[in-house]
Amino acid sequence: MVNFLKVAPSTDPAPNLDDLLLYAKRLNSVADMLHCDVMSANFVGHDTINADVVKQIYARTLLPLDVHLMVNEPLKEVQKYIDAGAQIVTVHYEAFKNKKDLEKCLKKINKAGAMAGIALNPSTEVVDAMPYFAYADLVLLMSVVPGKSGQRFKESTYVKVKKLKQIKDDYGARFKIEVDGGIVPEISKKLKTLGVDIIVSGNYVYASEDRARAINELK
């Protein structure tokens, strides 16, 4: 079966709101979706965009919004991002002290009409989050430490992708596999052969003089 890799450029490299909104608009005809990186200081050490900004992005793009919440207590946050226009809301496994709240959160996202995702930090083993994959439409593997754009891809991610794909196949699971962080064309091509469905690209697309070409190179 041919795996059609989707590319989701990230909002993270944009230096200010005006640039971000223009970037979102210009990606309309070239990207598959837009990855909105929402970070809070209590989770990654600094704040980025919020639901109001996501709503402004939604008003300027036809692309599906893939909102990645790097926040503590995401259960309290998800509804406002769905209301802002998110089609996918991904929350971090590590953000839940009580893992029953993770299940509750994923179900809440689905009930509100969006796709639900689980993100795993590089230090989190795939098997740890396995009990919650049944409630997920997407599993996001971080190939860098969340919080800073421009990091190098962690080679250990390949092993995690293989484990996740094996679990997906063994159980006939429905979730998509997404990878985020430090991805360049030679890496994306390998990820594609391993069964990844979506890659997130920050600086590689944003810094390119020809963003359409950069996205095609990642595919």
The answer to whether residue 191 sits within a structural domain is yes
Separation between Cα atoms, residue 17 and residue 124, nearest integer Å? 32
pLDDT in tens, the chain (219 residues): 446 899 999 999 999 999 999 999 999 989 999 999 999 988 887 889 999 999 999 999 999 999 999 999 999 999 999 999 999 999 999 999 999 999 999 999 999 999 999 999 999 999 999 999 999 999 999 999 987 666 799 999 999 999 999 999 999 999 999 999 999 999 999 999 999 999 999 999 999 999 999 999 999
Catalytic residue among 12, 66, 137, 180: 180
The answer to whether residue 1 sits within a structural domain is no
- For the chain, helix (H) and strand (E) counts, in that order, are 10, 8
Q: Residue 60 maps to which CATH number?
A: 3.20.20.70
Determine how many CB atoms are found less than 10 A away from the CB of residue 195.
16
Domain residue limits at 104: 6-218
> Which run of H or of E encompasses 134?
none
Catalytic residue among 32, 37, 66, 137: 37
Interacting residues of 124 by C-beta distance below 8 A, sequence separation 6+: 93, 94
Domain count across the chain: 1
Reply yes or no on whether 128 is catalytic. Answer: no
Strand partners, 67: 36, 89
What order of strands is seen across the sheet that includes strand 198-201? Answer: 6-9, 198-201, 176-180, 138-142, 115-120, 88-92, 65-70, 34-39
The model's pLDDT over 112-149, given as tens digits with 9 standing for 90+, comes to 999 999 999 999 999 999 999 999 999 999 999 987 66
| Class of residue 163 by CB neighbours under 10 A (exposed 0-12, middle 13-18, buried 19+) | middle
Reply yes or no on whether 180 is catalytic. Answer: yes
